[in-house]
Chains A and B, each alone.
Chain A
């Protein structure tokens, strides 16, 4: 029983991280109509920056309580990176999709090695952060309190993003732009600005995903590439450009994955991709996508 609860928590933990990545990917596509292949690598950058910051802080004797604050800092750094990179993509908004895919694929290759260049090939960890929180008892077992925080962050992020998009003026602008770029600029909206902010938010989400997961694991090369493909599965299931889609997709993928490890390890991954393919066939726009 308590095992079941823990496996559910494991899934929710994984889902919240996956949601952060996928939601960013989806938002960027929704607004800018670009499928960003480098998105997973932004997640990795978030992990590395955070792990590095925490490492420095601990080395400098900063009380570990404060290292908590470094998580959003790590995510923010990725957002800044996004702001710096978005202008690079501008020439491609009107170009054929294959060029968008390729330029972001090139970006992926570059960032992967920039990470290696900056932090070397060795895994970075930030577990002091994790050890700040005590474990909680579940039946006869224990579960890391920090993981519950991560789940919480996932929920907050989902609500927050939803609020921004559906309750704020900025959200209206975002949606308007995603509906019709020309119309938006005709209405005197600063499309360029909208794009930068959308891209930055997307990157922030991915970075946050990396930032909150790194204390529980380690930051390793290639983590972004694996993450990207799963984020793809999520948005394909949920629907490219749909926030609810990203949420539901993340939940589906996480629970299937956990069940896979427990019950059908051989086809754990295959099942995920098959679900994605199936959805794509039956409803190309995904469960929540709109054209």
Chain B
């Protein structure tokens, strides 16, 4: 497509399928997919070894990132226990898990992954939260032939550049560029008059990506909007006061931030005391991404509270989507806390693997080779607690409809949650580059395929 034209914003947002409300799975095709927790109906074909299936799970067990990352491990364990209760994979192989603390640093994580495979003899590598780590780990997994399903580490960079033709590496959560774009759509939808925007982002790939794609989308949705202040605290910062003051000094209409985990908790508390929330609107990509109980009741209402455009445990709510209700109940029963999107991602990852293994077994019998499992994972689609998820064969990336919401204090929970009536959902295909779109360095030099796609195809909105 050539020069993007201009269209009316409402039409535009409509065309993008942005819907607000709590009514259900907008766009999520309730098409028949295997259901997550359905027990393996018929017995496995052929001879299955009963040696344990060893998985390595790497996530943040320490540091401020742990409040976001540790739930990944809990989701993984829950799924493993459920599967083992049914006798294990293909009814035979019990899932064993060894863990590693992602907080050790990227260099150490690379070393640890090699150790897990070469000494720990793992069959599956999973977890990984930080976008700083997945691009370093993906190539290692490929070269050592480790079947890998990242829970997160969702930067586009992994499958755009670091591992452009993935074989062994998959990723379950939504692609990162969707985060910034979702926040932008939420902003344009809710506060169309925003013009002056201040940014505060963690100084690494996630923050940079979130800033870039938000701005790209906003330029088209809210022409004339400008960045009036930028601040890049390093990941793990505890003192945001100077950054907050800097943002306020530009008196913007909106603060957009991708600060996450314990860092966000520290930041919103400090922002409260500096009266930031009274001075401007606030849009985030990951505010409620942490383990839900980590956000206090003191969190202001009406903040656009992203969950990595993946999942928040109250949505799809009630009985509209039994899968979620059941998952949340089981998770709460096991851990006495509510899941976050990492929990759901890690949980689903194991069940997708299970499904792929069973399908491969049906075809050939016996324990399937990694190659057979991989070919089943490619293109696999299924219903999960968060809705319908589909793994695109070309880039091994899991896609599900993007969601975000607004913070609200409900009596039902001892922490701030989503306003059940103001959940924004966007069909994922409308905010991500289609399959086969040129990757960076191949025909364009944008940082991501998504960025190039937006620049080339999105019109400018008016009104």
Contacts and interface: CB of A to CB of B under 8 A. Distances in A.
What's the dominant secondary structure at chain B's contact region?
helix
A130 B298 CA distance: 13
A265 B63 CA distance: 24
A265 B231 CA distance: 8
B447 interface: no
A263 B243 CA distance: 11
Interface stretch (B262-270, B321-329, B376-384): B262-270
B248 interface: yes
B238 A217 contact: yes
B274 A3 contact: no
A221 B64 CA distance: 8
B200 to A, nearest CB: 11
Contacts of A220: 63-64, 236, 238, 262
Contacts of A265: 230-232
Contacts of B190: none
Interface in B199-251: 230-232, 236, 238-239, 241-243, 245-246, 248-249
A13 B67 CA distance: 28
B103 interface: yes
B333 interface: no
A152 interface: no
B357 interface: no
A221 B63 contact: yes
Contacts of A216: 239, 241, 270
B66 interface: yes
B265 A218 contact: yes
Interface in A9-38: 10, 13-14
Interface string A202-218: 00000000000000111
B273 A130 contact: yes
Contacts of A14: 239
A150 B454 CA distance: 49
Contacts of A7: 242, 245, 249
A182 interface: no
B86 interface: no
B274 to A, nearest CB: 7
A261 B61 contact: no
A261 B270 contact: no
B277 to A, nearest CB: 11
A290 interface: no
A10 B241 contact: yes
B395 to A, nearest CB: 33
B231 A141 contact: no
Contacts of B273: 130, 135, 142, 144
B249 A144 contact: no
A247 B61 CA distance: 38
A123 B261 CA distance: 11
B401 to A, nearest CB: 32
A258 interface: yes
A135 B262 CA distance: 24
Given A141-B279, A261-B231, 15 more contacts: A7-B249, A13-B241, A121-B103, A122-B62, A123-B67, A123-B266, A141-B248, A142-B275, A147-B241, A217-B266, A220-B63, A223-B238, A262-B246, A265-B230, A265-B231
A-B residue pairs, 4 tightest by C-beta: A121-B62, A217-B238, A142-B275, A144-B273
